[in-house]
Structures are given as structure tokens and as C-alpha cells.
Amino acid sequence: MKLFAPLLVAAFLAASSLSVSANEPAPAKAKPDIAKGEASFGAVCAACHGADGNSGTPTYPKLAKQHPEYIVKQLQEFKSGKRENAIMKGFASALSDEDMKNIAYWVTSKETKPGFAKEKDLVVLGERIYRGGIADRQVPACAGCHSPNGAGIPSQYPRLSGQHADYAIAQLTAFRDGVRKNSIQMTQVAAKLNDREIKAVADYVSGLR
């Protein structure tokens, strides 16, 4: 009995320690530092994406009001090379995860400037695909993931409303042609769209509110 007593005590203490640890709350995640995010955005991102996240160049995306989780994911994938872009890889590689989070939460607090559909002859086609898909080719409705008004679903699907049509065309084409490889779902959808349909959808989402 004397031989087993120390072992029993040790086991009891270990169990007690585990019980206490299990009941302790998980450490709180650090909140994003919006001030640092603004400073980093101004230094690194504003030249291409606009001082308030509303890019004035159609080939660069608007980031204002975009879901922060989505922005962080894209920056991480530029940094890792999962999403290929030499310019963005250079910028993203200089950012820590904390920097990315700070930037993302700052720019998402900015209001996005509305866009406008420009191709009147394609608006009807774009709306039909966005809202109803293309049944005979099993193309799902864009609205199913990106919501009817283009607001997207936080942490899952990006906001599209008001995005530059030129940028949307470039991304859909890159998905279709296998150049952009960081979303299997979008690759599968875009693979079934022709140039006219891509242009129609892109123009339609630029005018969504």
C-alpha cells in the first residue's frame, strides 16, 4: 500500500490540474488595431486601392466594405503563393497576420462607392445568370453564395456589389482559364461561362446596391 500511495497522490494532482485547466476560459483573441490598420493601409495599399479602399482604377478591386475575413484570407494566400500575383505577393510578404487583420478591419469600416452597369444590352443576361444561373449547363445562380444584392456572406463569400466590372471580368477569366487557383468552386463555375456571359455578369454586379 505504501508503494502505491505516491502514485495515487500524483494521479490525483494531475487530474485536479486537468480539471482546472478545462474550466479556464480560452485566452481572448486580440482585437484588431484600427489605427495601425489605417496607417498600414495608407503606406502599403492606398496607392492602388484608394485612400478609403475605393480604387479609382478599374483593374484594381474596391476593398471598402469587403468582409475582413475574406481580405485576410486573400492576403495570406498571396503571401503563401496559393493565389499568384507577383505584385501582391511582394506587399503581402511584408505583412504579419496581425498587420493583415488590422488592415482588413480598417478598410471594411469604409463605405463603398456605388458602381453602375454600363453595358445596357448585357444587363438582362447578367441579371438572369446572377439570379437564376444557367440550368442547361448546371451553372448555379451567383446570388446563392453572394446574396441577391451582392453583399456576400461574411467569412465565406466576398461582397461583389459595386465592384469594378473590369476587375470582375479579369478574375472570372482567371478562374476559368486556371490562372487563379485558390477557389475550386469558382473554377468550376467559371469554366462553364463564355466571354460574353462573364462580361454580362461582371457588368451587372458593378451596378448592384
Burial of 153 (0-12, 13-18, 19+ CB in 10 A): middle
The predicted pLDDT at position 61 comes to: 98
Q: How confident is the model at residue 7 (pLDDT cuts 50, 70, 90)?
A: very low
Partner residues linked to 160 by β-bridges: none
Q: How confident is the model at residue 186 (pLDDT cuts 50, 70, 90)?
A: very high
Tell me how far apart the alpha carbons of residues 95 and 106 are, in angstroms, rounded to a whole number: 15
The grid cell for 187 is 473554377
Tell me how far apart the alpha carbons of residues 2 and 143 are, in angstroms, rounded to a whole number: 72
Helix (H), strand (E), coil (C) string for 103-123: HHHHHCCCCCCCCCCCCHHHH
Q: Does the structure show a pLDDT above 60 at 64?
A: yes
The predicted pLDDT at position 28 comes to: 57
Q: Does the structure show a pLDDT above 90 at 192?
A: yes
**Structural domains of the chain, ranges and CATH numbers in brackets:** 34-107 (1.10.760.10), 120-206 (1.10.760.10)
The predicted pLDDT at position 1 comes to: 41
Q: Does the structure show a pLDDT above 80 at 3?
A: no
pLDDT tens readout for residues 9-47: 344 344 444 343 445 555 557 899 999 999 999 999 999
For the chain, how big is the Rg over CA atoms in Å? 23
